[in-house]
Amino acid sequence: MNIDGLGEFGLIERIREGEGALPRGIMGIGDDCAVLPQRKGYKTLVSTDLLMEGVHFLLEDIDPYSLGWKSAAVNLSDIAAMGGRPLGSFLAFALPKALDSKWMDDFFRGYRAVSGLCSAPLLGGDTTSSLDRLCICVTVLGECEDGHEVLRSGARPSDKICVSGTLGDSAGGLKLILGGLSREGAGERLIERHYRPVPRVAEGQRIAACGATSMMDISDGIGSDLRHITRASGVGAVVRVKDLPLSEELLSQSALYGWNARGLAIDGGEDYELLFTMPSDALRNLDIPYTEIGEIVPGEDILWEGASSQEHKGFRHF
Ligand code: ADP
Ligand code: MG
């Protein structure tokens, strides 16, 4: 059945039924607003992201499970980037009438899989039809202890610059998709990194607790994302390009297709790893896997030590 037959309320009912029990004291889908308790000594974190067909994803290529996953994941990643604990999400979408209910069910399986991983139930949203493209807007709510939110503006000279995970995999995956290249073996892993990024929620909380001075998630590539930290903090940076963490999969596919793996790690977007700064004595206590890639320095310039170019823009919409 296509969703036109299900109707707006039929679809909302289906979404509501698919949600499990909510944590005590939280009211989700079904009324005019969701209702959440307010905790003393905590701050609320809120963030919204829009995913537009043709701009952020190609409906012909991405499977509905991955699209549901990615819609929730890129938003939950913003809560992770503050060192916060996710509380829930809101999903508003404009749906082309031709989508069928199987497509919707698969979308929600993906959405719930990552929401479940992050303990962030779907608490509400809005549903309309679209004359043309599919548009998905997700809002996430989270919380953190008052004063423990990690901003972009706290980096200080001599802090170490670090990242979680590996960089460039998602960009490699996108190259395989757009180039119609093999999706076997290492390729499969890169495409998974592109379609199903894992929000680093637990890592973000550990990094915050350990005393990070600044943090953000890497959505456009560190080439432009690190700029956000240095500008907000009024500092410069030196990045050792040879120390950027690259996966075996990205290295093998880069060797095969002649890609510049380090270039992808700098300018390729959508890794959704965490980029953070921390004084070196605090860093010694950090008990999650991370890679130190450079240092904050006085000034305002970023030196990409060992890079073929100093011009790094990352992904831009305009
Ligand atoms: P309203 O007219 O007040 O916007 P709706 O009829 O649009 O109410 O929505 C009814 C309930 O269903 C609300 O609780 C809303 O949050 C929820 N809802 C609507 N669309 C979605 C969706 N796509 N995902 C999750 N919840 C939804
Ligand atoms: Mg509505």
Ligand 1, atom 19, residue with closest C-alpha: 126
**DSSP string for 255-305:** HHHT--HHHHHHH------EEEEE-HHHHTT--S--EEEEEEESSS-EEEE
- Per-residue pLDDT tens over the stretch 148-185: 999 999 999 999 999 999 999 999 999 999 999 999 99
Q: Could you tell me if the CB of 139 is within 6 A of ligand 1?
A: no
* Angle in degrees, 0-180, between the axes of helices 186-195 and 169-179, rounded to the nearest 10: 100
Q: Could you tell me if the CB of 126 is within 6 A of ligand 1?
A: yes
Ligand nearest to the CA of 115: 1
Entry pTM: 0.94
Dist. CA 124 → ligand 2 center (Å): 9
Dist. CA 307 → ligand 1 center (Å): 49
Which residues pair with residue 215 across a beta bridge? 276
Dist. CA 134 → ligand 1 center (Å): 18
Q: Could you tell me if the CB of 29 is within 6 A of ligand 1?
A: yes
Comparing CA positions, the residue from 157, 165, 163, 164 lying closest to residue 279 is 157
Ligand nearest to the CA of 9: 1
Dist. CA 7 → ligand 1 center (Å): 13
| Sequence-separated contacts (24+) of 126-129 with Cβ below 8 Å | 126/92, 126/93, 127/8, 127/11, 127/12, 127/92, 127/93, 127/95, 128/8, 128/93, 128/94, 128/95, 129/4, 129/94, 129/95, 129/96, 129/97
Q: Are 47 and 76 in contact (CB under 8 A)?
A: no
Which of 29, 134, 141 gets mutated to test ligand 1 (max ligand atoms within 8 A of its CB)? 29
- Per-residue pLDDT tens over the stretch 3-50: 777 888 888 999 999 998 999 999 999 999 999 999 999 999 999 999
Dist. CA 109 → ligand 1 center (Å): 18
pLDDT at 37: 93
Comparing CA positions, the residue from 245, 263, 266 lying closest to residue 254 is 263
For 83-101, letters b (16+ CB in 10 Å) and e give: bbbbbbbbbbbbbbeebee
pLDDT along the chain (318 residues), means of 10: 80 90 93 95 97 93 96 98 98 93 95 97 96 97 96 98 98 96 96 97 98 97 96 98 98 97 95 98 97 98 89 66
* Angle in degrees, 0-180, between the axes of helices 64-80 and 101-117, rounded to the nearest 10: 30
Q: Are 278 and 207 in contact (CB under 8 A)?
A: yes
Q: Report the C-alpha gap between 169 and 188 in whole angstroms.
A: 11
pLDDT at 316: 61
Q: Could you tell me if the CB of 125 is within 6 A of ligand 1?
A: yes
Q: Are 35 and 27 in contact (CB under 8 A)?
A: yes
pLDDT at 318: 64
3-state secondary structure of 86: strand
Q: Are 260 and 175 in contact (CB under 8 A)?
A: no
**If you search the block for the tokens 């499977």, which residue do you land on?**
63
Q: Which residues contact 283 (CB under 8 A, 6 or more apart)?
A: 160, 162, 210, 292
Tokens of 278: 């921390």
Mean of per-residue pLDDT scores for the chain: 95
